[in-house]
Amino acid sequence: MNKPDTPVASNFIRNIIDDDLAANKNDGRVVTRFPPEPNGYLHIGHAKSICLNFGIAAQYNGQCNLRFDDTNPVKENEEFVNAIKADVEWLGFEWDNLKHASDYFDELYNFAVELIKQGKAYVESSSAEEMREMRGTLTEPGTESPYRNRSVEENLDLFARMKAGEFDDGEHVLRAKIDMASGNINMRDPTLYRIRKVDHVRTGKTWSIYPMYDYTHCLSDAMENITHSLCTLEFEDHRPLYDWVLDELKTPAHPQQIEFARLSLEYTILSKRNLIQLVEDKHVTGWDDPRMPTITGIRRRGYTPAAIRDFCDRIGITKNDAWIEMAVLETCIRDDLNEHSPRRMAVIDPIKVVITDLPDGYTETLSFANHPQNEAFGRRDIAFTKEIMIDADDFSENPPPKYQRLVPGGEVRLRGSYVIKCEEVIKNDAGDIVELRCTHDPATLGKKPEGRKVKGVVHWVSATEGVTAEVRLYDRLFNIENPASANTLEDALNPQSMVIHKQCCIEASLADAKPEERFQFERLGYFVADRFEHTNATPVFNRTVTLRDTWAK
């Protein structure tokens, strides 16, 4: 994955691994894993973790597993499993092993029995509320449960009967016997197993008890011989428990958990709860809405896997609670698309321009480079005709200062064509501009006009040869940097996040675009043919990102 000549950014995790390697820890192996719970769609924050885990494995010639953390059957399903696999693959990564925490349910059960036999785990029969009361608070120690000192025999018997399905949800729970007075609440006899009499996607009705994350994750890591278990900062407090389980069970391997800061991106939200709300309240069209920060949404927006990987490299890995500016992500996609996408012309909000000094039916074939810096993109022909379309905001009767486009009586260059002069503005009864009548300077094709300077260049499409298309202009979904801090998500929404233009005029060569094919529409931005709704008969393009614009509008 990493090219040898691409230096990998230094970060504290790579430093730890370098030290481990130098000390010959783990016999020089590096094994990581990306462990999503299949209870939702992956988003850009997951991409950070994916790039980290798979990137490190690639850099150190190691391995990276994709492991579904499927220990809570009430929240997980197959749809999410398949979507996650597709997203990881689309991002360009290949897992060495595909695993599920549920693969280890038998081993996990046996380990739990072992813990009970050692007197390190017991069956709790208090209610959830009672347990909460006994847990204490952040500043006060907890109190020990009356069930804490049950005999090993009784615990073994009860746990076996929990497994056998003799009890209902909530009647009992298996707990680790650690320290109810610990300053770390995770160590106050955490729950290891709970009763859940529901079917599991993979194990069906086999189990009526399911292991908790803290108990499962460390053991799964150990069984997969993971060397470095990378997770986000909120699990720092869980590390003592991770280590406790592995120490008490004397597993052959003891992976090292290392925590890094999760991604926070300005003008978007990444919490599952908020994303679900956007979908359920129909503020977006679905998980794959091009405005969503999900991988599938970003993909539909037109982002490339390479741009997302580049983004993950640029933001780095630390333990700082960092907020990344949207400009970083946008720069990544512009850099990629600038280099790799062919140029085209499209008019979003057309006004008709009639070149009055051309004969009726006039057509001239003009040759255009598909990329201004790379001849390998080839050339294409575009028909220049008497009637063309230009974008409404490329003409102004009352132009602001330094306006370089078409004005009454003024001249402008038609990109790749002639310089035209606006002679007359035709309006309807309502006063709307319906047509511009212009003349052209025949001496300006491929040449600078003589005796004067014409600064502006405007894109255009033949009114008679162009094709009608729908173009969706997307912008950031929220108007404030941290939408989660608003009173409600609705308050933070950007009402202009999607503006649809159905009567756009695009150059004819765009008619055979395939879904997900990307282009730069000159002077406008980068656009992608919609993955799901674009057809050659009814073209639909999504704006991925605008071009950088240093002209103050």
Partner RNA sequence: UGGGCCGUCGCCAAGCGGUUAAGGCACCGGGUUUUGAUCCCGGCAUUCGGAGGUUCGAAUCCUCCCGGCCCAGCCA
Residue 456 contacts residue 404 (beta carbons within 8 Å): yes
DSSP E strand boundaries for 138-227: 173-176, 191-195, 209-211
Nearest to RNA of 285, 479 (CB atom) = 479
Would you call 37 a catalytic residue per the annotation? yes
Given the residues 132, 161, 197, 272, select the one marked as catalytic: 272
| CA 235-239-242 angle, 5° bins | 115
Closest by Cα among 262, 286, 295 to 43:
295
Q: How far apart, in whole angstroms, are the C-alpha atoms of residue 435 and residue 315?
A: 48
DSSP-assigned beta bridge partners for residue 435: 352, 426
Nearest to RNA of 445, 508 (CB atom) = 445
Stretch that binds RNA, among 7-15, 104-112, 434-442, 536-544 (CB under 7 A): 7-15
Min CB(429)–RNA separation in Å: 30
Q: Determine, following the binding rule CB under 7 A, whether residue 190 of this chain makes contact with RNA.
A: yes
Helices (H), 164-236: 213-223
Q: Return the residues of window 283-342 that contact RNA according to CB under 7 A.
A: 314-325, 327-328, 330-331, 334-335, 338
Q: Of these, 46, 99, 194, 472, which contacts RNA (CB under 7 A)?
A: 194
Q: Determine, following the binding rule CB under 7 A, whether residue 276 of this chain makes contact with RNA.
A: no
Nearest to RNA of 85, 319 (CB atom) = 319
Other C-beta atoms closer than 10 Å to the C-beta of 71 total 26
Output the furthest CA–CA distance in the chain (Å, rounded): 102
Helix crossing, 152-163 with 105-117: angle to 10°?
160
Residue with tokens 């950007």: 494
Stretch that binds RNA, among 41-49, 102-110, 185-193, 298-306 (CB under 7 A): 185-193
Q: Return the residues of window 84-113 that contact RNA according to CB under 7 A.
A: none
Tokens of 466: 């162009």
CA 23 to chain centre: 37
Given the residues 135, 262, 352, 476, select the one marked as catalytic: 262
Min CB(163)–RNA separation in Å: 15
Min CB(532)–RNA separation in Å: 27
Q: Return the residues of window 107-166 that contact RNA according to CB under 7 A.
A: 124, 126-128, 131-132, 135, 137-139
Closest by Cα among 111, 40, 112, 31 to 75:
40
Nearest to RNA of 27, 549 (CB atom) = 549
Nearest to RNA of 161, 548 (CB atom) = 548
Min CB(529)–RNA separation in Å: 18
Would you call 272 a catalytic residue per the annotation? yes
Q: Determine, following the binding rule CB under 7 A, whether residue 409 of this chain makes contact with RNA.
A: no
Q: Return the residues of window 210-249 that contact RNA according to CB under 7 A.
A: 210, 212-214, 217, 233-238
Residue 381 contacts residue 363 (beta carbons within 8 Å): no
Q: Determine, following the binding rule CB under 7 A, whether residue 44 of this chain makes contact with RNA.
A: no
Which residue type sits at 97? N
Q: Kindly write down the DSSP assignment for every residue of 85-114, as one continuous string.
A: HHHHHHTT---S-EEEGGGGHHHHHHHHHH
Alpha carbons within 13 angstroms on the beta-carbon side of residue 168 total 1
Residue 532 contacts residue 462 (beta carbons within 8 Å): no
Q: Return the residues of window 164-183 that contact RNA according to CB under 7 A.
A: 169-171, 173, 183
Min CB(285)–RNA separation in Å: 27
Residue 351 contacts residue 395 (beta carbons within 8 Å): yes
Q: Lay out the site mask for RNA across 45-84 (x = CB under 7 A, - = otherwise).
A: ------------------------x-xx--x---------
Given the residues 14, 37, 144, 437, select the one marked as catalytic: 37
Q: Supply the residues annotated as catalytic.
A: 37, 262, 272
